[in-house]
Structure 1
Amino acid sequence: MRLPAGTVGHMVLGELTVHAWDLACATGQDLAPGAAVIGELLPALADMAPMARAAGMFGEPVYVPAGAPAPGRVLALTGRGPQWSSRP
C-alpha cells in the first residue's frame, strides 16, 4: 500500500480497538480503551475517515453531541453508534 508506517500503525490500532468494541457490545460486555489509545486514534481516524468511507470501510458518521466522551467520538467516526448495546 506504500503508506507511512505511522498511518499503518493507526489503521491497525483502530481495527483492534473498534472491533474489540464490536465484540464487547455483541457479548454484553464493556470496553474502556485507555486514554493514550483514544488520544492516538481520534485525530488519526478523523484524518482517515473520508478515504475509509469512500472505500466502504467506514459508515457515515454518527452524530454525537459536542463534548461527548472521546471514545464515543472515535466510534462515531467509523459509523458506529457509541450508545449501541446488545443488552435489553
Structure 2
Amino acid sequence: MNVHPMHPFLARATSVAADVAAAVPAGHPLDAPTPCTDFDTRALVNHWVLYTSHGLEHRARRAELPQELIERDFTADAEWRSAYAAQLDRAVAAWAEPAAWEGDVDLGGSPVPAVGIARMLILELLLHGWDVARATGGEIEVDEELASVALEIVEENAELYRQYAGFAETVALPDDASTWDRALAASGRDPHWKA
C-alpha cells in the first residue's frame, strides 16, 4: 500500500500534539488566557481536540462531524488526554488509506483538495498545540524537519488565513530565529508569549 508522502508528517504532528495534551496539568484553570485571544483554555482545548482528532478522521472518511461532538466539552472528562491520543491514532490510521488523499473534501460547499486539508490539519495540530502548551505552562517539541514543513504550509496559506482572521499579522523576529519560531511568527503568534 503506497502511503502518501505527507502521511509521516501528519503522524509526527499527531504525536507532538498527544505529548502536549499529556502534559496539561490536571488542575490548570480552564478559564485561563491563551495566545488565541478569542479562546480561554477550555475553548482552545475543545477546538483543538475536536478538529485535529475527530475532524481529522472525519475528513479522511468524507463524513460530517456529528452535532453531539461539536457541542461536547471534552475537558469535562478527566481522561480527555488519553482519549485524545487514542482518537489521534484512529485519525492517522484513516489517513493511511491512499483513497483519503485523493479528490476533494467538501468544506461546507467549497471543495478543497484532500492533500490541502491534511496540510492545514498538520498546522492546526502544531500551532494550536503550541497555543495549548504555552497557555498551560508546557513545552512543545517540534523537530527541524517538521518545523520546516509547518513554515512552508504557513507561508502558503498566510495571506488567505489573514483575510478570514485566522492569522494575525506577522510578528518581527531576529535574523537568527529558529525555523519553528519563524513558523509561529508567520502565523501571527509571538514565540515569546507568556500567560
Query: TM class by shorter-chain length?
Result: 0.7 to 0.9
Q: 1:34-67: per-residue Cα shift (whole Å, max 9, x none)?
A: 2232121111210100000011110111111223
Q: Distance in 2 between matches of 1:50 and 1:78?
A: 10
Q: Secondary structure of 2:172's match? A: coil
Q: 1:6-44: per-residue Cα shift (whole Å, max 9, x none)?
A: 221111010110111111111111112122321211112
User: In percent, how many aligned pairs have the same letter?
Assistant: 31
1:75 counterpart residue number: 184
Q: Distance in 2 between matches of 1:36 and 1:10?
A: 14
Match status 1:47 vs 2:127? no
Q: Secondary structure of 1:49's match? A: helix
Alignment-mate amino acid for residue 22 of structure 1? D
Q: Distance in 2 between matches of 1:38 and 1:3?
A: 24
* TM-score w.r.t. length of structure 2: 0.42
Match status 1:60 vs 2:163? no
For structure 1, the residue ranges without an aligned partner over 5 or more in a row are none
Q: Secondary structure of 2:111's match? A: coil
Q: Distance in 2 between matches of 1:12 and 1:37?
A: 13
1:4 counterpart residue number: 113
For structure 2, the residue ranges without an aligned partner over 5 or more in a row are 1-109
Q: Distance in 2 between matches of 1:9 and 1:34?
A: 19
1:23 counterpart residue number: 132
Which has the larger strand fraction? Answer: 2
Match status 1:34 vs 2:143? yes
Q: Distance in 2 between matches of 1:7 and 1:76?
A: 21
* TM-score w.r.t. length of structure 1: 0.88
Q: CA deviation at 1:5?
A: 2.2
Across the aligned residues of Structure 1 and Structure 2, the Cα RMSD in angstroms comes to: 1.2
Q: Distance in 2 between matches of 1:38 and 1:9?
A: 16
Aligned residues: 86
